[in-house]
């Protein structure tokens, strides 16, 4: 009898262990991992992260269940890009997602791990990809092509300020794509007969001195949109309002933070679409074979509260074309 009892106990023990083995194996199994390098702050990118995660869920990638996402935030400190990219390489991430100047740092950190850029101003001109149709390396994503819309932004700005004669341009010259946009806007403005003053910044501490040096030499301000100006958008808009300068931006977030107007791609939509690239890569497609895509959704946003504070009247024809009016 004692032998039968021990035998039954042994069978139960072995049966329980056998049932536990698959659970233990699943617990130890590594989930596909996305390294998400945010160039700004979590609060500034809240809408972008939400759009990205939502689209991943639609593809069946559930954070913590079928996929792991490691978020890191550079807080507009460009020196952090390389550090974070190197960390993702050590973690052996399956794909890295980022934007702007951080894409260059990620590419320098690895030629093996796939990299998806949700936003890149000039991926072809900056050498991130061999061509838009066939990127050819480990990098692909969505091109902002911001330089193409500079003339359109100046045209819209002149609708609100028809007497415009002098223009200031502020941008991060430490980011090649931003410096290129500054050059192109300056050239376009001069063709329109405008006098141009450049406010060249490389860090947050440069913003206030740039405005102080500007004094009364401009009637409007063109803000080159990227992580540094985006993170400091409230400061820039506050200084611009104090200097009585209408501002033109490339993204709606800057207008929500007090800017006058913006025209450009819907950034949340770009991050939503970036999840499509990640899905393809995690299912086996090589980034070299995934064509770079262009924006398809654009927003014209006008802040009537700021216009009123500046004593400006926005033409009804422009308001009728706006996708969003803040009032």
Is 9 inside a domain boundary? no
Percent composition of the chain: helix, strand, coil (DSSP 3-state, to 5): 45, 20, 35
Decide the pairing of beta strands 298-303 and 324-326. Answer: parallel
Q: Does residue 216 share a domain with residue 311?
A: yes
Q: Does residue 113 share a domain with residue 37?
A: yes
Quick one: which of 140, 139, 78 has its CA closest to 111?
139
Q: Does residue 287 share a domain with residue 317?
A: no
Is 27 inside a domain boundary? no
Using DSSP, state whether 81 is helix, strand or coil. Answer: helix
CA distance 44 to 292: 25
- Share of residues in the chain with pLDDT > 70 (%): 90
Structure tokens at 229: 């100006």
Q: Does residue 39 share a domain with residue 129?
A: yes
Is 218 inside a domain boundary? yes
Q: Does residue 320 share a domain with residue 205?
A: yes
Q: Does residue 271 share a domain with residue 261?
A: no
Question: Which ranges in 201-259 belong to alpha helices (H)?
Answer: 207-214, 227-231, 233-242, 252-256
CB count within 10 Å of CB 305 equals 11
pLDDT at 216 over 90: no
Confidence of residue 146 (pLDDT cuts 50, 70, 90): low
Is 173 inside a domain boundary? yes
Using DSSP, state whether 323 is helix, strand or coil. Answer: coil
Is 319 inside a domain boundary? yes
Domain range for 64: 33-145+267-296
Q: Does residue 274 share a domain with residue 249?
A: no
The answer to whether 36 and 69 are in contact (CB under 8 A) is yes
How many structural domains is the chain composed of?
Answer: 2
pLDDT at 207 over 50: yes
Confidence of residue 20 (pLDDT cuts 50, 70, 90): very low
Q: What is the pLDDT of residues 111-142, one digit of tens each?
A: 999 999 999 888 887 789 999 999 999 999 99
Q: Does residue 238 share a domain with residue 317?
A: yes
**Average pLDDT score, the chain:** 90
Beta strand segments in 22-164, E = 33-38, 68-73, 95-99, 115-120, 139-143
Query: What are 37's strand-pairing partners?
Result: 72
Backbone angles phi, psi at 140, to 5 degrees: -155, 175
> Residues 244-268: what's their mean pLDDT?
95
pTM for the model = 0.82
Q: What is the pLDDT of residues 37-92, one digit of tens each?
A: 999 899 889 999 999 999 999 999 999 999 999 999 999 888 999 999 999 999 99
> Residues 280-308: what's their mean pLDDT?
96
Is 1 inside a domain boundary? no
Q: Does residue 223 share a domain with residue 82?
A: no
Q: Does residue 314 share a domain with residue 216?
A: yes
Q: Does residue 254 share a domain with residue 272?
A: no
- At 136, which CATH number? 3.40.50.2300
Q: Tell the residue number behind the tokens 């430490």, with chain if given.
A: 174
Q: Does residue 187 share a domain with residue 54?
A: no
């Amino acid at each position: 009898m004692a032998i039968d009892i021990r035998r039954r106990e042994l069978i139960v023990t072995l049966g329980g262990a056998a049932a536990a083995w698959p659970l233990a194996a699943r617990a130890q199994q590594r989930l596909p991992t996305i390294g998400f390098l945010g160039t700004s702050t979590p609060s500034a990118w809240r809408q972008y992260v939400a759009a990205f995660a939502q689209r991943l869920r639609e593809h069946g990638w559930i954070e913590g269940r079928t996929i792991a996402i490691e978020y890191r935030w550079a807080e507009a400190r460009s020196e952090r890009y390389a550090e974070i990219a190197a960390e993702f390489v050590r973690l052996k991430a399956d794909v890295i997602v980022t934007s702007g100047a951080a894409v260059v740092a990620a590419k320098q950190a690895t030629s093996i791990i796939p990299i998806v850029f949700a936003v890149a101003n000039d991926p072809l001109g900056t050498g991130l990809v061999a061509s838009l149709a066939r990127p050819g390396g480990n990098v692909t994503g969505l091109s902002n092509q911001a330089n193409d819309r500079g003339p359109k932004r100046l045209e819209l700005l002149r609708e609100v300020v028809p007497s415009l004669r002098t223009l200031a341009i502020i941008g991060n010259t430490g980011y090649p794509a931003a410096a290129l946009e500054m050059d192109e806007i300056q050239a376009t403005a001069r063709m329109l007969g405008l006098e141009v003053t450049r406010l060249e910044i490389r860090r947050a501490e440069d913003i206030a001195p740039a405005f102080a040096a500007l004094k009364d030499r401009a009637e409007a301000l063109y803000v080159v949109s990227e992580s540094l100006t985006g993170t400091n958008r409230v400061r820039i808009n506050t200084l611009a309002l104090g200097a009585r300068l209408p501002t033109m931006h490339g993204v709606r977030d800057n207008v929500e933070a007090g800017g006058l107007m913006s025209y450009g791609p819907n950034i949340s939509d770009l991050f939503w679409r970036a999840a499509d690239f990640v899905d393809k890569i995690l299912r086996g497609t090589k980034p070299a074979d995934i064509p770079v895509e262009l924006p398809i959704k654009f927003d014209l946003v006008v802040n009537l509260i700021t216009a009123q504070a500046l004593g400006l009247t926005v033409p009804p024809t422009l308001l009728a074309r706006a996708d969003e009016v803040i009032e």
